[in-house]
Amino acid sequence: MLEKKKIGPYTIVFPIKTGKYAETFRVVDEKGNKRFLKLFNLAKLKNTQYEQTIENITEINIVKSLSHINIVSYIDSGEVVYEGQRCIYMVCDFIVGETLFQKIKREGYCSVYDLKRIISGVLNGLKYLHKRDIPIIHNGLTPESIMLDMTSNMSTAKIIDFGHAQYLESRNKSFYSDGLNLFYMAPEMFKGLYSTRTDLYSVGVMMYHLLFGTLPWYVDLSKVPTQDRIARVIEERKSPLKIPNLNIFELDDNLLNIVVKAVSQDVDERFQNVNDFLRALNGESEVPKASYIKVDVTGVISKEEKRTKVEKGNGFADVAGLDELKYRLNTEVIDLIRFPEKYKKLKVKIPNGMLLYGPPGCGKTFIAEKFAEELRCNYMYVHCSDVASPYIHGGQEKIAAVFEQAKENAPTILFLDELDAMITDRSKHTSVSEYGEVNEFLTHLNNCAENKVFVIGATNNPKAIDPAALRSGRFDIKMYVPAPDEKNRKLLFELYLKDISDESIDYDELVKQSEGFVSKDISTLVNRAAILTAQADKDKISMDALITALEKSKGELPSISAEILKQHEKIHEEFGDNKNNNRPKIGFTSYSSIE
């Protein structure tokens, strides 16, 4: 076995990213602690704003001086010779979680509730940077420079990657702009200028991206020569801002006005500082009506379209495996709903609901949709943000309205996503309003089956749910949905590669290489291999294409760390939905994309 490479006292686990003058690695220190290490090649730094001594590398000096919950933590730095090159390294704390970019790719959307929470964290980090004795401008904010720390129940946004950061006092000097995302750059940055409002512009673009799944003033640059791309972006921004005409729950006019103000091309029309931005985001101030154009978009599924999709779907015919789950749902729920008179004679009670829990990306939302398709009944998707309200008792009114709508359109499958944020343990509540909202949920759960409403709740953290919701008569059925094991990973690969791969595929090797992958990761990997195959003008995906996709995905896939998966297995053991029976874990395979 080859000895792993070292950088100073740190052992390389695997490379994450390679840039023009630096490489990033996941490493472990001498005590076995995981860390992130950035290695600066001094020879390649000659053409940047950096000097060749450790004392004058701006990024290290900046990160070393920072200490804030919403900013990555500095650990160490030093000078080494690596592969015959004189280098300087900087080590930061390892963050258990994923980038905001990975979250968007995995989930495909961001609720208004999540957006406000994430953006508030980013703004608080910027406030710390901008309010220092010598203000610091990040200059490179994108979803890839925001890490979501998942060590607690609620993920914390942390600003990372200070490769383009500068002190405000240096704003008359040019800054390193190679590799910046042009769509996130404020107009003045194209002239080499930056300020605190430059960062706020990037936050506005981030909000637009999270809400609508695209970028403001987006234009395809793939066929535009590199030297002409900035001019093309500047030209596109001369047109009015377009807002996709989507039915996004909780997207009120004030939030929309915040986004439009933040991405104004006129620096004086933007938010003047972080405090103004935060006050508007928290609803403490109202932003004047903004000017924009509403446009229809394609390729985005609204809630109404999603319902139609569910009603016309193939149900369990799309699902391979999951025999126990399908059997239980057919015998314990579906038959009772389809043939109520048959069971009414024997006074059989329909269960009120089912709880699906486990790590993200393993198919909880998918299972709920396929169940609704099987029944061909009304399907309602409700995210925790859909029942949130800034007003006292406002949340209770929304909860009551949701159940009333489900009752009116019965039989209904009511899917509650992120259930732990809706029915949080009341012993941890400090707000009378929040306590009342949990009571409201419990009241409606008591008799929902009598009204032909079956509730499916999904959560990554069942232990945070109020115990009363988990008692018999509410969420009667509990299912743990884990990351797929070797058998199911192989079947997933076979399903996704069916009819689109050649005979070179080594499924056993793919299973070995995909340890720790959740279902969504496998779907993503096959899709990336398909793109590589198309770019090579080939008709079938080869094993080489999959291996190349795996190499390119290092640091990004698996999207869920081994630590988090172990945490979920521990939760499963402690939660103990199988303590009184020998039911196996579910496992998951599907012919369709997994959400």
C-alpha 469/C-alpha 354 separation (Å) is: 11
C-alpha 279/C-alpha 302 separation (Å) is: 30
Q: Which residue has the higher pLDDT, 260 or 47?
A: 260
Q: What are phi and psi of 148, to 5 degrees?
A: -100, 105
Structure tokens given for 454: 């079956």
Average pLDDT (6-12) is: 93
Is residue 577's pLDDT more than 60?
Answer: no
C-alpha 106/C-alpha 591 separation (Å) is: 17
Q: Which of 223, 208, 191, 43 is nearest to 141 (CA)?
A: 208
Contact indicator for 508, 490 with CB cutoff of 8 Å: yes
Is residue 49's pLDDT more than 60?
Answer: no
Token pair 């933040």 is found at 262
- Asked if CATH classification 1.10.8.60 holds for the domain at 486-559, the reply, yes or no, is yes
Can you give the pLDDT at residue 269? 92
Torsion of CA 181, 182, 187, 190, to 10 degrees: 100
Average pLDDT (377-404) is: 69
Is residue 366's pLDDT more than 70?
Answer: yes
3-state secondary structure of 353: strand
C-alpha 149/C-alpha 97 separation (Å) is: 5
268-287 CB burial, b ≥16 within 10 A, e <16: eebbeebeebbebbeeeeeb
Is residue 390's pLDDT more than 70?
Answer: no
Of the candidate ranges 113-122, 195-204, 322-331, 481-490, the one whose mean pLDDT is the lowest: 322-331
Pairing of strands 156-159, 146-149: antiparallel
- The answer for 533, left when phi > 0, alpha when psi is -120 to 50, beta otherwise, is alpha
The secondary structure of residue 317, as a DSSP letter, is G
Can you give the pLDDT at residue 47? 59
How far does Cα 441 stand from its chain's mean position?
26
Average pLDDT (380-387) is: 73
Homologous superfamily in CATH for domain 6-93: Phosphorylase Kinase; domain 1 (3.30.200.20)
What secondary structure does DSSP assign to 163-222, as a single string?
A: TT-EEGGGTTS----TT--GGGS-GGGGGT---HHHHHHHHHHHHHHHHHSS-TT----T
Contact indicator for 165, 140 with CB cutoff of 8 Å: yes
- Which CB contacts under 8 angstroms, 24+ apart, belong to 425-434? 425/464, 425/465, 425/466, 425/467, 426/466, 426/468, 432/392, 433/392, 433/393, 433/395, 433/396, 434/395
Can you give the pLDDT at residue 174? 61
C-alpha 444/C-alpha 214 separation (Å) is: 38
Which pLDDT tens digit goes with each residue over 124-173?
999 999 999 999 999 999 999 999 987 765 678 999 999 889 998 875 55
Fold of 303-480: Rossmann fold (3.40.50)
C-alpha 371/C-alpha 205 separation (Å) is: 37
How far does Cα 3 stand from its chain's mean position?
35
Average pLDDT (565-578) is: 77
- Ordered by start, the domain boundaries in the chain are 6-93, 97-295, 303-480, 486-559
What secondary structure does DSSP assign to 104-122, as a single string?
A: HHHHS---HHHHHHHHHHH
Q: How confident is the model at residue 175 (pLDDT cuts 50, 70, 90)?
A: low
Fold matches, 6-93 and 303-480: no
**End-to-end Cα, the chain, rounded Å:** 39
Is residue 118's pLDDT more than 70?
Answer: yes
C-alpha 487/C-alpha 84 separation (Å) is: 44
3-state secondary structure of 419: helix
Structure tokens given for 36: 């992130």
Q: What are phi and psi of 445, to 5 degrees?
A: -70, -25
301-317 CB burial, b ≥16 within 10 A, e <16: eeeeeebeebeebebbe
236-to-194, 211, 228, 291, 394 alpha-carbon distances in Å: 21, 21, 13, 17, 42
* DSSP count for the chain of H helices, then E strands: 20, 18
181-to-45, 262, 334, 407 alpha-carbon distances in Å: 20, 17, 50, 48
CATH class of 97-295: mainly alpha
Is residue 542's pLDDT more than 90?
Answer: yes
Q: Look at the alpha carbons of 30, 31, 32, 38 in this order and tell me if their dihedral is positive or negative.
A: negative
Can you give the pLDDT at residue 29? 93
What percent of the chain has pLDDT above 70?
A: 83
C-alpha 168/C-alpha 197 separation (Å) is: 11
The pLDDT mean for the chain works out to: 82
Average pLDDT (206-218) is: 89
Can you give the pLDDT at residue 592? 38
10-46 CB burial, b ≥16 within 10 A, e <16: bbbeeebeeeebbbbbbbbbeeeeebbbbbbbbeebe
Which pLDDT tens digit goes with each residue over 226-251?
889 999 999 999 999 988 876 555 57
Contacts of 173 (CB under 8 A, 6+ apart): 49, 166
CA 131-263-261 angle, 5° bins: 85
- Tell me, yes or no, if the pTM score tops 0.85: no
C-alpha 73/C-alpha 60 separation (Å) is: 11
The secondary structure of residue 330, as a DSSP letter, is I
Is residue 298's pLDDT more than 80?
Answer: no
Contacts of 388 (CB under 8 A, 6+ apart): 113, 250, 395, 398
C-alpha 189/C-alpha 174 separation (Å) is: 10
Can you give the pLDDT at residue 417? 87
Can you give the pLDDT at residue 411? 82
